[in-house]
Amino acid sequence: MKAQRINATRTTHKASDPSIPILYAERYRPQLHYSPPEHWLSDPNGLVWHDGSFHLFYQHNPGGNDWGYIHWGHAVSRDLVHWRHCPVAVQADPWGSGFAFSGCAIVDHENRSGLGVNGSAPLVALYTGATVEGVQSQCIAFSVDGGNSWAPYRGNPVIANPGTRDFRDPKVFWNIDREEWIMILAVGERLDLYQSKNLLEWQWISEFRCFIESAGDVLECPDLFPLRSASGEMHWVLIVSATNQTTHKDRATRYFIGTFDGRQFVPYDAHSRWIDYGPDNYATVTWDNVPVADGRRIAIGWMSNWRYAREAPTYPWRGHMTFPRELVLVEDDRGVRLASRPVDEIEHLHRESVQLDGSPIESEAVKVFFSRLPAELLDVELKFNWRGQTPEPFGLLFSNESGDVAMIIADVANDLLVLDRSQVGKSMPYGQNANKIEAPLVVIGDCLTLRVIKDRASVEVFVGDGRVAISANLFFDKPFDSVSQFGGGDVEVHGKASILESIWEDTVGSNNHV
């Protein structure tokens, strides 16, 4: 029995019913981040650029606000900022290949799979089919109309389960040197690599075992890709998330940098590093087939955490994505590191900018600068300078009259960046998970760069040109209505803040879908 295809757009409530918020104007609805009209969203899947559009697929329950009965939801964008909702794509087949768990999508340019019509290039989704008995295997669905409709491959599964419980989340890329497809797959506490010439027949070639932080961790959503550093040297980056059904820990998405010879990934060292230190960035993966003329490696993650994802106080949807980021390699005295930065297309949302010339952090000029800003929909880029003596902790503060306070703290003396959300949303079930989040503080000389993307109920913080990031949801008791600065003594600050428009301005009160 197959699930029926549904329209992903929910009918907008009439304004005459004041008890029900207008769609996309709800209390916690992200205004800068993608979220579905309604129901459950989790891991991004099938990120692929095709025919001028970025396709975003995601784990989706089209019938409810909790995880379960998983299909692939679908949205497309031409600028990574404004999104169109599409009908459900890869559908669950619980009595056949199974529910449509995470995976990837590629453009089969040469129609090597033979799934295209008259030799045309199909879009091919490779995903984990999970049966009602819990057996996971790798399956294929394909589209011959640019992603508008999808059909299952009759030969599923293309990789049968070898007898292991956790066997999922394929990510596939074309290895031009060997003219073959490479798949990286999460298998419990290790990652397996496979190769194929046609996407339909796969051969195991190697495995990679990485350091696991806690007993019981299971790896998920791997991604492997080449990336060139500023010096021109090519490196390979492996990103992988780890979940733990017992602890549901924070800070779960890590990366390794190393070499790949077409058969084996070898990291430069055994230490895993974090792509994001926040609790709300999981299953980060990157877009495939981005044009060479663009040249970027672009990523997105699920902006939630299994610790409380199923209790998030949102309705009629639950779950949203991080803001898309460009991944770059930076080099310093610690070697090569991965940095992430909001994609430049965020400038499409800049409605008004306020400039701040160099002024002491506690000066009247700085206070006036912040007083001119709303407490949401902001892109703040600041540089803090000091000379000589290490400054006292300083930073930004978002607050409201009911006592919700979120603080971004730069503690130079202790080399810490802190996002303190312990005083946010204390009256809700989410409040028991409110906490202080710590990350290394990247100071270059006597200077700290800080970038903050502030949405209605979340914040993404970047320091050191993106070398450290923290992503966190802020489910307030009452909306934030004030932003200000604090501390620092002799610290001087300059930069700008851009007030942003909502990505849904054309959606509220209308139907926005394919």
For the chain, how big is the Rg over CA atoms in Å?
23
Q: Residue 131 above 60 pLDDT?
A: yes
48 phi and psi, to 5 degrees?
Answer: -150, 140
- Chain segment 390-413, per-residue pLDDT in tens: 999 999 999 999 889 999 999 999
When pLDDT is averaged across residues 364-380 and rounded to a whole number, the result is 96
pLDDT of residue 488: 78
When pLDDT is averaged across residues 48-54 and rounded to a whole number, the result is 97
What's the DSSP call for residue 392? P
Spatial CA neighbour of 482 closest among 382, 409, 374, 394: 374
Percent of the chain beyond pLDDT 90?
80
- Residue whose entry in the numeric block shows the structure tokens 């495995």: 207
In this prediction, residue 251 has a pLDDT band, given cuts at 50, 70 and 90, of low
Q: Residue 374 above 50 pLDDT?
A: yes
SS3 content of the chain, % helix, strand, coil (to 5): 5, 45, 50
CA distance 374 to 352: 11
Q: Residue 16 above 90 pLDDT?
A: no
When pLDDT is averaged across residues 304-313 and rounded to a whole number, the result is 90
In this prediction, residue 497 has a pLDDT band, given cuts at 50, 70 and 90, of very high
CA distance 12 to 400: 30
In this prediction, residue 435 has a pLDDT band, given cuts at 50, 70 and 90, of confident
pLDDT of residue 282: 95
Q: Residue 354 above 80 pLDDT?
A: yes
List 342's β-bridge partners, or say none: 325
Write out the DSSP string of 333-353.
TTEEEEEEEE-GGGGGGEEEE
Which residue has better confidence, 258 or 212? 258
Any catalytic annotation for residue 43? yes
pLDDT of residue 315: 94
List 455's β-bridge partners, or say none: 458
Is residue 340 a contact partner of residue 61, using CB atoms and an 8 Å limit?
Answer: no
Catalytic residue, chosen from 43, 108, 420, 455, is 43
Domains and CATH numbers, the chain: 39-342 (2.115.10.20), 344-500 (2.60.120.560)
In this prediction, residue 14 has a pLDDT band, given cuts at 50, 70 and 90, of very low
- Chain segment 447-484, per-residue pLDDT in tens: 999 999 999 999 999 999 999 999 999 999 899 999 99
pLDDT of residue 219: 93
The pTM of the full predicted model, rounded to 2 decimals, is 0.93
Which residue has better confidence, 514 or 299? 299
